[in-house]
Amino acid sequence: MKGVPLQDIFDDIPPISAQSAERLGYPTQKPLALLERIIASSTDKRSIVLDPFCGCGTTIDAAQKLGCKWIGIDVTHIATNLIKFRLKNRHHLKEGVDYRVLGEPKDLSSAKELASQDRYQFEWWALGLVEATPYQDKKKGADTGVDGICYFQDGKKVTDLKSIVDQVKSGNVSVKDIRELNTVVDNKKAATGILITLRPPTKPMMTEAASKGFYEYKITKKRYAKIQILTIEELLAGKQIESPPTMPFTKKAESVGDSHTQGKLI
């Protein structure tokens, strides 16, 4: 028996509520079910889905789930980072294996070029290297001493959260940056502080960082340096912060399993 044809208003798909597990923090985010319906009704698996303003990546997510090839384009590194983590968490996709990202720095020289062009974009890109969320709702504004933040659970309750604060420096750095970061860590009651720097740290910086002691992870009793310094060159080579397992960059949506379809982010 035939049903009633869908109308041009999809009122059976509700908007994303403030409490929805699907919400990722993007004000213009559309429901995944809406994009799945649009793509499923207008394409097949031979199609290439293009979203030239892909934002938080709902179109890409839907295209990937439906087995389509896709291309996503966005102007900010915040969007690129968000989509990469979404593809990792939802579809278990790996950058450089299952899809390519074009336009991001891949070496120290291109990182310096980005920093010289737009320090905010550099900052957001650098935070993505450690899977940290840009602080204060991704907005440019007054310096609070915190550029990015991430969390880990240190207790039996899901509310037993500790934070890791991140600072990104694209210019000259000195020992005063370590002292200021340590003050921020204390004020924010954070577990550790991470200084991400484009330029190599000085020996006094390393000595000062080492003098700040350790944070002990209650669950395993393992200790982590309270203040850590990572250069962009080290991060590009694969080095990561030393910390307990952190929570995802965004709210982690339910995994949909392995669905490896080639894609491209620009």
Q: What is the pLDDT of residues 85-118, one digit of tens each?
A: 889 889 999 988 999 999 899 999 999 999 999 9
Q: How many CA atoms lie within 13 A of 54 on its CB side?
A: 29
What pLDDT is attached to residue 263? 59
Per-residue tokens: 211: 């003098």
Q: What is the largest CA-CA distance in the chain?
A: 78
How far apart, in whole angstroms, are the C-alpha atoms of residue 95 and residue 85?
10
DSSP assignment of 197-265 = ESSPPPHHHHHHHHTT-EEE-TTT--EEESEEEEEHHHHHTT-----SPPPPSS--PPP-------EEE
Q: Between residues 220 and 253, which one has the greater pLDDT?
A: 220
What pLDDT, in 10s, does the model give residues 56-65? 899 999 999 9
Q: What is the pLDDT of residue 23?
A: 81
- Chain position carrying tokens 């295209």: 63
How much is the pTM?
Answer: 0.80
Strand 161-169 and strand 148-153: the pairing is antiparallel
CB 133 within 8 A of CB 148: yes
Nearest to 164 by CA among 156, 174, 154: 154
Contact 199, 232 (CB under 8 A): no
* Residue corresponding to tokens 């004000």: 27
161 touches 153 (CB < 8 A): yes
3-state SS assignment for residue 156: coil
Helices (H), 9-107: 32-42, 58-65, 77-91
The pLDDT confidence band at residue 82, using thresholds 50, 70 and 90, is confident
- Quote the pLDDT of residue 259: 45
- Residue 229 in contact with residue 195, Cβ under 8 Å? yes
> Other CB atoms closer than 10 Å to residue 169's CB: what's the count?
22
In this predicted structure, which of 132-136, 138-142, 157-161, 252-256 has the lowest mean pLDDT?
A: 252-256
Mean pLDDT of 59-73: 95
